[in-house]
Amino acid sequence: MRIVCPWLDDFVTLPDDPETIAREISLRGFEVASVEAGRLPVIDFEITANRPDCLSHIGLAREASAIWNVPLQMPDATMPSPNGGKILEVRLEDAELCPRYCAQVFEVTIGRSPSWLAERLDAAGVRPINNVVDVTNYVMLELGQPMHAFDLEKLAERTLVIRRARAGERLRTLDGIDRTLDTDMLVIADAVRAAAIGGVMGGGDSEISETTKLIALESAYFQPASVRRTSKRLGLKTEASIRFERGADSEAAPAGIARAAALFQAIGAGRPKGPLIDRYPSPRPRSELTLRSARLTRVLGQPIPPADVPKILEPLGFEVAEASAPPDPTWKVIVPTFRVDAAREIDLIEEVGRHFGFDRLPATFPALAEPPRPADPRIAQDRHVRQILRAAGFSEATTFAFIEREAALPFCEPGVEPAAIANPLSEKFAVLRPSLLAGLLDACVHNRRRERRDVRLFETGNRFTSAGEGRAAAFAWCGSAVEAHWSGESRPVDFFDAKGVVEQIGAGFGVEVDCVPVDRPFLVRGRSAEVRVVHNRAMLPLGVAGQLLPDVVEPRGFPRAEEIYIGEIDLDVLGGVGMRDDLRTEPLPRFPSIVRDISILIDEALPAATVRGTIRSAAPETLVAVHEFDRYRGKGVPEGRVSLSVRLTFRAPDRTLTDDEAQRVTEYIVEVLRATHNAERR
């Protein structure tokens, strides 16, 4: 809210220094965006959504009167005597969306506004147009009550009907755009067609012009949810909708017209013609709250002098009845209609705390009545995953959960659309991400365009698939696998690097993962795998790892000739099988190990993991490690076969193994491989 200091001075006596005004008001919970000196000093306040009463000069003046303990002088709202009788018909057909509607006819002379009024509007950021429109804007900025003026002669049968829009009804608004309305939108219509969108914007067909002689001035209270829904659906945010959707004052509608009438007379713009029309079928009672001194002390952490409570609340517009007897007095407080945020006792406590001074409250924690609940185990699991990936050389990224549809489609299941946002901020935030990889891919593109070729990024967060919402960890790796060094050549990252990262995550959780070939629409076939984990003798799918398809990365702006390797792990599955509480430490081995190397010829399509599994199933407990160290295909190896070299490490926990024992086990393993996989020892 842009406050013009001389305008504020009309209502309260304030210090001359705008910086002092801004500082003192900001201490009561209003953030100051800027302070500008000049002939008309202005202060920009950031008003939170729960305080629509402060989207006006009188609202901030009320706060200032409580701060400096000075009286608040309300602006002149004397209604001049109207000429003539009733010449406007008003029918309120939807009291649910418009609980109160006021209107009055004025005989006007269109012209320029006086300089003082135009200068104040301009300083507040509103462009002066003509004296009638300027007065409606002036009252909105002064009292916080939006109003709209219709050219009475352009209203069919001189009638205003407050109703819902008809199916397919169209209206050209003041911004010159033809808009199609829905049946749940409120319109202000004449006897034939819609003339304005209630609480949002007027229509162009009934706009006042230089030839206008009679206007119908409306001032109303609209249901906040209806205005917000209409504004969002039409993509139309105005100064009026900003105020109405947060909750206006139901008693301000007639006051706004009275203030406008006083200004019309003061600047010679017009006078009322006919009586005020006020349609208010169900008047709303003012709410009454109870404020307990004991509760006030308990929440704020120190006692507040009982005499200070009325001194704080009454300047803010609250009516405070006599307190009950000490030592713990209780007050009955009537809430003003403009304070739509004050609905509970705690809201009154906040008001007392704000103006008593939060800086005067003790900085102590309340006593704990019970021990805190244990943290969600998922927090520790996510932290552990992040530690593993950072240790692997990755940097953590944070991307949006809302992404554009084109970025999400490659990671959706075939035939499944990503979950759409009902009212997206833009097309770039249209759907919920089905995978964390979409955001990491764009992050890699961002880095690549800034000459960062070697990128390692990871992220943990929620993803939204057809199965619902779930937690995941994902990484993306492009460029070199190792940093360049004078002692050796660098090499590009490959599938086995990505597979190694996934295995590290599994090892960090105390589980062994297995990778099997997979066909996913966003991964390169032959360079991708499904990651699985063994749990209760069943193989659970944990995630995927592999190279992103060039057809996926190129439309996002990544060079087609370069490769990005990724991995994505389901944290809900991983947390269910790993990080158990029964982990135990084992002593370092006391006896030496024996190593045997074997080279075998196997089918080239046979995965090394399958060979490793066969070896482990055939060997006794003395086999403590299996490691492949060479794979050869070429001269001396038959077509369709490869030579796989495996290192076997044997060790017993209670004695030193003999060479004969190790040799017998090795020969047995070779025989099992021959019988199972038709392997030949070289």
CATH number at residue 677: 3.30.70.380
Q: Which among 18, 10, 120 is positioned nearest to 65, based on CA atoms?
A: 10
Residue 583 pLDDT > 70 = no
The answer to whether residue 76 is domain-embedded is no
Q: Which among 385, 427, 382 is positioned nearest to 404, based on CA atoms?
A: 427
CATH of residue 8's domain is: 3.30.56.10
- Statement to judge: residues 454 and 535 lie in one domain: yes
CB 323 within 8 A of CB 290: no
Coil, strand, or helix at residue 613?
Answer: helix
Final residue in a domain of this structure, among 303, 328, 360: 360
Query: Cα–Cα distance between 605 and 354 in angstroms, integer?
Result: 73
Name the band, by pLDDT with cuts 50, 70 and 90, for residue 582: low
Mean pLDDT of 384-410: 94
Name the band, by pLDDT with cuts 50, 70 and 90, for residue 652: very high
The answer to whether residue 421 is domain-embedded is yes
Residue 272 pLDDT > 80 = yes
Q: What is the pLDDT of residues 199-228, one digit of tens each?
A: 999 999 999 999 999 999 999 999 999 999
- Statement to judge: residues 430 and 528 lie in one domain: yes
pLDDT of 96: 96
Residue 504 pLDDT > 80 = yes
Final residue in a domain of this structure, among 279, 297, 314: 279
- Higher pLDDT residue, 131 or 370? 131
Identify each DSSP E strand in 312-374 by its residue range.
Answer: 319-320, 330-334
Mean pLDDT of 582-604: 86
The answer to whether residue 605 is domain-embedded is yes
Residue 262 pLDDT > 90 = yes
Coil, strand, or helix at residue 630?
Answer: strand
Name the band, by pLDDT with cuts 50, 70 and 90, for residue 580: low
Q: Which among 220, 215, 286, 218 is positioned nearest to 253, based on CA atoms?
A: 220
The answer to whether residue 326 is domain-embedded is yes
How far, in Å, are 24, 382, 474, 501, 590 from residue 571 at the CA level? Answer: 49, 8, 10, 15, 37
- Statement to judge: residues 348 and 411 lie in one domain: no
- Statement to judge: residues 353 and 498 lie in one domain: no
Residue 78 pLDDT > 60 = yes
- Statement to judge: residues 444 and 417 lie in one domain: yes
- Higher pLDDT residue, 314 or 606? 314
pLDDT of 529: 92
- Statement to judge: residues 274 and 294 lie in one domain: no
Sheet holding 31-36, edge to edge: 2-4, 42-46, 31-36
Q: Which domain holds residue 402?
A: 377-577
Final residue in a domain of this structure, among 229, 260, 279: 279
- Statement to judge: residues 518 and 603 lie in one domain: no
The answer to whether residue 447 is domain-embedded is yes
Number of residues assigned to the chain: 682
| Percent helix, percent strand, percent coil in the chain, to nearest 5 | 30, 25, 40
CATH of residue 133's domain is: 3.50.40.10
- Statement to judge: residues 548 and 613 lie in one domain: no
Residue 484 pLDDT > 80 = no
- Statement to judge: residues 535 and 652 lie in one domain: no
- Higher pLDDT residue, 346 or 585? 346
Q: What is the pLDDT of residues 341-366, one digit of tens each?
A: 999 999 999 999 999 988 888 887 76
The answer to whether residue 253 is domain-embedded is yes
Q: Which among 427, 273, 336 is positioned nearest to 62, based on CA atoms?
A: 336
Residue 618 pLDDT > 90 = no
The answer to whether residue 303 is domain-embedded is yes
∠91-93-96 over CA atoms, to 5°?
130
- pLDDT averaged over every residue in the chain: 92
- Higher pLDDT residue, 620 or 153? 153
Q: What share of the chain has pLDDT > 90, as a percent?
A: 75
- Statement to judge: residues 552 and 516 lie in one domain: yes
- Statement to judge: residues 474 and 396 lie in one domain: yes
CB 456 within 8 A of CB 444: no
Q: Which among 477, 458, 384, 466 is positioned nearest to 432, based on CA atoms?
A: 466
- What letter would DSSP give residue 562? S
Q: What is the pLDDT of residues 545-563, one digit of tens each?
A: 999 999 999 999 999 989 9
Query: Cα–Cα distance between 43 and 19 in angstroms, integer?
Result: 9
The answer to whether residue 73 is domain-embedded is no
pLDDT of 288: 94
Residue 581 pLDDT > 60 = no
Q: 678: number of CA atoms within 13 Å, CB side?
A: 8
Name the band, by pLDDT with cuts 50, 70 and 90, for residue 641: very high
How far, in Å, are 78, 100, 158, 543 from residue 259 at the CA level? Answer: 7, 18, 24, 67
pLDDT of 372: 83
Distance of CA 172 to the CA centre of its chain: 32
Query: Cα–Cα distance between 410 and 507 in angstroms, integer?
Result: 30
Residue 367 pLDDT > 80 = no
Query: Cα–Cα distance between 623 and 646 in angstroms, integer?
Result: 13
Query: Cα–Cα distance between 494 and 74 in angstroms, integer?
Result: 74
- Statement to judge: residues 8 and 96 lie in one domain: no
Pseudo-torsion of CA 116, 122, 126, 132, nearest 10°?
30
Q: Which residues pair with 522 in a beta bridge?
A: none
* pTM assigned to the model: 0.67
Count of domains for the chain: 5
Q: Which residues pair with 469 in a beta bridge?
A: 464
First vs last Cα of the chain: how many Å apart?
84
